[in-house]
């Protein structure tokens, strides 16, 4: 029965490989390959995305695969995400709600806890946006006196094989192989404002971008125990720079503005064109301290080297992210008071995003909290809520405020136990 259940979960993951990743509606997704995601599952997200130096026995940690040696149970995790985002500029405002499957992860401990292995399907980026702007944004059609609307949809996903291996009693290493794939559709709609021959018409430049690439990262984890109860943990991850390679097809179409009827056939702007996007080197350092099965507080520092990258006429800068968070479980052995066995989490994060728009840096702040609720033995229902804000309305930019809710379910079971009796 157990094998059937997990085999079915694996089948669902493989089936969903054909799906598109689209779960964040940010106007800044117009740049690059969209809004880049992280590997934070619900329990990590409740602490602001903390995880590089934070091990856990009952929740899978994909922020640092070296910690997979800490998990003793075969696990399946599925996460759902919903978001409500509000946009403001100096001239107008709007909002959009989105929702999707955030992740699916299947984990198995191997070699008596020395080796832990997981396969996962996660979002890599999402490009879900619609905004008006000047012809300088996103390679707009170079016509004067035009009103331009920029529309993007789709995104990239990553299918990953993550492994952690214990080399010493308190030291582990990890490595990830990631296959990134997906497609992004971009449209630029332009209406002529002062051309009598084109009154009632608009043109649409359509770009379809498809990407396929393989990425690799390594990690390590170190645990120090004091008095058999207190722990200090250190984690380090490094993702090698890589290049997303793909193909782009472009076409130009003409439509009636009053009923959106296409006039004539699309005109190919270019044949299949090779494209690429350089990904940065990423370095993450994490540290945590706490009392085993009681409380833990931690700090993550994430750095990415975007130097010399440029996309859509927008410069890309190096990024820094700082995360402070923690968790507390009042009494995980209290069988009479359920709320004492709940793990409560909180976190704060600040991030300097890679976009340098009109020489202005875009920053993001977030306040996070959540909890893991025990269900059916050692399984948990995980909740994370984030209140965030990025950007500004000054200098013609866009301010975004958003609320994200992530709901995850982790099913834990012990496999391969040798029976002592029949």
Residue 3 within any structural domain of the chain = no
- 184-199 residue pLDDT tens: 999 988 876 444 454 5
Binning the chain into helix, strand and coil, the percentages to the nearest 5 are 10, 60, 30
Question: Residue 404 is encoded by which pair of tokens?
Answer: 């994200």
pLDDT tier for residue 24 given thresholds of 50, 70 and 90: low
Residue 313 within any structural domain of the chain = yes
- 218-253 residue pLDDT tens: 999 999 998 878 999 999 999 988 888 999 999 888
- The full DSSP string for 203-224 is EEEEEEEEEEEEEEEEEEEEEE
- 404-418 residue pLDDT tens: 999 999 999 876 555
Residue 7 within any structural domain of the chain = no
Helices H / strands E in the chain, number of each: 2, 20
8 Å CB contact between 54 and 47: yes
- 332-376 residue pLDDT tens: 888 889 999 999 999 999 999 888 787 888 899 999 999 999 998
CATH number at residue 360: 2.40.160.60
Give pLDDT, residue 311: 59
Query: Can you tell me the distance from the alpha carbon of 269 to that of 250, in angstroms, rounded to the nearest whole number?
Result: 5
Tell me how far CA of residue 168 lies from CA of 107, 108, 114, 223, in angstroms. Answer: 22, 20, 9, 10
8 Å CB contact between 107 and 74: yes
Query: Can you tell me the distance from the alpha carbon of 277 to that of 246, in angstroms, rounded to the nearest whole number?
Result: 9
List the domain range (segments joined by +) for residue 218.
20-413
Average pLDDT (272-286) is: 90
Between 45 and 149, where is the model more confident?
Answer: 45
Give pLDDT, residue 270: 73
Residue 69 within any structural domain of the chain = yes
Between 82 and 25, where is the model more confident?
Answer: 82
How many CB atoms are located within 10 Å of the residue 242 CB?
A: 18
Lowest mean pLDDT among 4-8, 64-68, 282-286: 4-8
Residue 64 has pLDDT above 80, yes or no: yes
Give pLDDT, residue 255: 80
Residue 2 within any structural domain of the chain = no
- 153-207 residue pLDDT tens: 999 999 999 999 999 989 999 999 999 999 999 998 887 644 445 456 778 888 9
Residue 388 has pLDDT above 90, yes or no: yes
8 Å CB contact between 172 and 67: yes
Residue 4 within any structural domain of the chain = no
pLDDT tier for residue 20 given thresholds of 50, 70 and 90: very low
Give pLDDT, residue 195: 46
Question: Residue 201 is encoded by which pair of tokens?
Answer: 């018409």
Model pTM score: 0.86
Between 50 and 265, where is the model more confident?
Answer: 50
Specify the number of domains making up the chain. 1
Residue 375 within any structural domain of the chain = yes
Residue 422 within any structural domain of the chain = no
Between 241 and 41, where is the model more confident?
Answer: 41
8 Å CB contact between 42 and 382: yes
């Amino acid at each position: 029965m157990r094998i059937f259940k997990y085999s079915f979960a694996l089948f669902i993951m493989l089936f969903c490989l054909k799906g598109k990743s689209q779960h964040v509606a940010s106007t800044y997704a117009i740049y690059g390959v969209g809004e880049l995601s992280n590997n934070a599952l619900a329990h990590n997200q409740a602490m602001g995305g903390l995880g590089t130096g934070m091990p856990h026995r009952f929740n899978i940690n994909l922020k640092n695969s070296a910690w997979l040696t800490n998990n003793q149970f075969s696990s399946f995790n599925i996460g759902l995400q919903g978001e409500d985002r509000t946009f403001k500029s100096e001239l107008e405002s709007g909002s959009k709600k989105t929702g999707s499957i955030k992740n699916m992860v299947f984990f198995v401990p191997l070699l008596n806890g020395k080796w832990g292995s997981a396969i996962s399907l996660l979002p890599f980026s999402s490009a879900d946006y619609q905004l008006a702007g000047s012809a300088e944004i996103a390679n707009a059609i170079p016509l004067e006196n035009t009103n331009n609307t920029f529309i993007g949809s789709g995104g990239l996903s990553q299918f990953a094989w993550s492994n952690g291996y214990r080399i010493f009693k308190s030291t582990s290493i990890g490595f990830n192989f990631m296959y990134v794939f997906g497609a992004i559709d971009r449209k630029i709609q332009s209406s002529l404002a002062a051309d009598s021959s084109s009154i009632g018409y608009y043109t649409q430049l359509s770009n379809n971008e498809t990407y396929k690439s393989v990425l690799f990262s390594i990690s390590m984890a170190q645990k120090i125990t004091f008095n058999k109860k207190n722990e200090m943990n250190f984690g380090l991850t490094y993702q090698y720079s890589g290049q997303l390679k793909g193909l782009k097809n472009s076409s130009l179409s003409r439509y009636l503005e009053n009923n959106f009827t296409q006039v004539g056939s699309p005109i190919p702007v270019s044949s299949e064109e090779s494209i690429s996007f350089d990904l940065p080197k990423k370095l993450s350092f994490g540290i945590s301290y706490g009392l085993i099965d009681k409380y833990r507080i931690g700090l993550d520092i994430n750095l990415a080297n975007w130097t010399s990258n440029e996309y859509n006429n927008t410069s890309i800068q190096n990024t820094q992210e700082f995360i402070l968070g923690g968790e507390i479980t009042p009494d995980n052995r209290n069988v009479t008071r359920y709320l004492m066995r709940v793990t409560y989490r909180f976190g704060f994060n600040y991030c300097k995003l890679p976009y340098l728009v009109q020489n202005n840096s875009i920053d993001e702040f977030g306040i996070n909290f959540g909890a893991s609720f025990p269900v059916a033995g050692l399984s948990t229902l995980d909740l994370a809520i984030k209140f965030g804000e990025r950007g500004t309305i000054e200098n013609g930019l866009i301010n975004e405020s958003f609320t994200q809710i992530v709901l995850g379910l982790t099913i834990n079971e012990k496999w391969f136990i040798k029976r002592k009796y029949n």
